[in-house]
Amino acid sequence: MFRSGLFNALIRIISIISRCKILIMIEFLRFVIVLLVIWYGTKLIIKYVLPWLLMRFINKQQKNFDNYSNPGNTKGEDGVNKKKEKSETRKKGDPLFGEYVDFEEIEPDQEHKDE
């Protein structure tokens, strides 16, 4: 009778240990699956989302630069630059207009003439 009780206790201990091993293996497999999902998710983000964000940022900065360098020009729906119409046009007689200066282009091989 003592032996059968000891035998049953050993069987219970072995079954508990085997259950623990199964639980440990299940947790290990869960850990491995989570690592794989994180790894491949990161690869997909780097491959597809990061270039999209970078191109969006570059296009936005390019538009800001274009607006800063050419504030009078706006792009129409067809992509052709259209100048904004000024409400007032300055006339040549206006003192704020300035003086017209006619410049001559000098070829690099021509000699400079002092007058």
Q: How many CB atoms lie within 10 A of CB 33?
A: 10
Distance CA 55, CA 59 (A): 6
The mean-pLDDT minimum among 6-15, 21-30, 53-62, 86-95 falls in: 86-95
* Residue type (1 letter), 112: H
User: Are the C-beta atoms of 78 and 84 separated by less than 8 Å?
Assistant: no
pLDDT surpasses 60 at 81: no
pTM higher than 0.75: no
Domain ranges of the chain: 2-69
Question: 3-state class of 82 per DSSP?
Answer: strand
Distance CA 53, CA 47 (A): 11
- Kindly state the percentage of the chain with pLDDT values over 90: 31
Kindly report, residue by residue over 29-56, the tens digit of the pLDDT: 999 999 999 999 999 999 999 999 999 9
Task: List phi, psi (to 5°) of 10.
Answer: -65, -40
| Bridge partners (DSSP) listed for residue 74 | 82
Task: List phi, psi (to 5°) of 82.
Answer: -125, 135
